[in-house]
């Protein structure tokens, strides 16, 4: 891996984020959820706080230790409650998990493979059957060497991911994504924007027509987004938006969007497991290949590199690919 520094001008600055304040706020929310025995919710808040702590100076690392301590305490209390439920546990119906046989049919599983665990709201189980359904409120944990593709019943959203990844289905067009890589598509007469919350922020996605894009949660808690088809517009704040054409890449952090870069779509298609690990091709796969061909014809100079992870708010990784050997 090679590190390319973005410098001060590559991220268009919005209002400066106070990471210490945000971490303290998320820690407080997590503690409140812990008091109410909402363990999954508490862990989610602590994860957000932890991502903000990564941006703090060493002098503020005491807060990071507090968060780590709270995570361990939450996990321990969750385990104790699981094996030794309190006497009044059955008195609170909201805290009870519903039978999975009653699960709503909000998302239709198109294809999947590997170890996928479903938790929250309904009883915890592993996803075993093809052509099954998931309800809003489910938390999904996709283990390594596993994959999942599903479609929202009441919207046009298609989601594909491979493990390791994790997300929560908050509604038919609202997701909380904590980790992993995703192929997301939609845009057919859906008046509501797609809402994606990630550890350091929240994006809304709108489009006048069909669209597809790649999204990856980065180490710094932000995300990397690549336009694949259509012209989706990403809204971070009222004054901070970005429209991505096919092949355009941007990083999203708490401080805004990075400058757009152009990637070679043919390299992306060839190197991404999201494209190759499933039996059936992704939605708009034919259109994606057409876009890659058009891009190849228009582009005169090629750089054989892959854009990798973002470790912090100023740097991202560049991996230089080996040139193919020529037969003599």
Residues in the chain: 328
Spell out the per-residue pLDDT of the chain, length 328, in tens.
333 334 444 545 445 567 788 888 888 888 888 888 777 788 888 888 887 887 777 767 788 888 888 888 887 777 666 555 443 433 333 456 778 778 889 999 999 999 999 988 888 888 877 778 999 989 999 999 999 999 998 888 999 999 999 999 998 899 999 899 999 998 766 678 899 999 888 899 999 888 999 999 988 888 999 999 999 999 988 789 999 999 899 999 877 898 888 888 888 888 888 888 998 888 777 888 888 888 777 665 545 554 545 555 555 455 555 555 444 4
Tokens standing for 220? 């710094």
Comparing C-alpha atoms, which of 157, 162, 234 is closest to residue 202? 234
Q: What is the C-alpha separation between 320 and 328, in angstroms, rounded?
A: 24
- Residue 227: predicted pLDDT: 92
- Residue 17: predicted pLDDT: 66
Decide: pTM greater than 0.85: no
94 — phi, psi (to 5°)?
Answer: -65, -30
Cβ partners under 8 Å of residue 205, min gap 6: 184, 193, 194, 195, 196, 211, 213, 232, 233, 234, 235
Q: What is the C-alpha separation between 233 and 96, in angstroms, rounded?
A: 39
- Residue 36: predicted pLDDT: 80
Where do the structural domains in the chain lie, given as residue ranges?
17-89, 100-320
The CATH architecture of the domain made up of 17-89 is: Up-down Bundle (1.20)
- Residue 90: predicted pLDDT: 37
- Residue 299: predicted pLDDT: 61
Q: Are the C-beta atoms of 312 and 3 separated by less than 8 Å?
A: no
Q: Are the C-beta atoms of 76 and 68 separated by less than 8 Å?
A: no
User: What kind of fold does domain 100-320 have according to CATH?
Assistant: Jelly Rolls (2.60.120)
- Residue 143: predicted pLDDT: 93
- Residue 14: predicted pLDDT: 46
Would the CATH topology of 17-89 be identical to that of 100-320? no
- Residue 190: predicted pLDDT: 67
């Amino acid at each position: 891996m090679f590190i390319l520094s973005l410098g001060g001008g590559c991220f268009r600055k919005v209002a400066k984020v106070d990471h210490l304040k945000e971490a303290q706020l998320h820690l407080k929310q997590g503690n409140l959820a812990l008091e109410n025995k909402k363990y999954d919710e508490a862990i989610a808040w602590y994860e957000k706080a932890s991502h903000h702590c990564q941006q703090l100076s060493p002098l503020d690392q005491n807060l990071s230790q507090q968060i780590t301590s709270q995570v361990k305490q939450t996990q321990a209390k969750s385990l104790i409650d699981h094996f030794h439920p309190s006497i009044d546990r059955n008195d609170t119906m909201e805290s009870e998990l519903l039978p999975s046989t009653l699960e709503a049919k909000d998302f239709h599983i198109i294809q999947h493979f590997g170890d996928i665990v479903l938790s929250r709201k309904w009883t915890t189980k592993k996803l075993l059957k093809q052509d099954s359904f998931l309800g809003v409120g489910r938390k999904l944990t996709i283990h390594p060497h596993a994959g999942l593709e599903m479609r929202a019943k009441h919207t046009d959203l298609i989601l594909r991911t491979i493990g390791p990844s994790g997300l929560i289905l908050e509604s038919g067009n609202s997701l909380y994504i904590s980790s992993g890589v995703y192929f997301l598509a939609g845009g057919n007469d859906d008046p509501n924007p797609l809402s994606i919350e990630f550890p350091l922020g929240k994006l809304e996605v709108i489009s006048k027509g069909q669209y597809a894009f790649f999204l990856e949660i980065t180490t710094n808690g932000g995300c990397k987004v690549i336009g694949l088809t259509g012209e989706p517009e990403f809204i971070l704040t009222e004054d901070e938006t970005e429209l991505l054409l096919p092949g355009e890449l941007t990083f999203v952090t708490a401080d805004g969007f990075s400058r757009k870069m152009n990637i070679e779509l043919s390299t992306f298609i060839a190197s991404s497991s999201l494209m190759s690990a499933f039996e059936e091709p992704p939605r708009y796969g034919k259109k994606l290949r057409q876009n890659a061909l058009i891009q190849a014809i228009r582009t005169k100079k090629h750089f054989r590199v892959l854009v990798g992870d973002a470790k912090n708010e100023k740097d991202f990784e560049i991996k230089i690919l080996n040139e193919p050997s020529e037969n003599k």
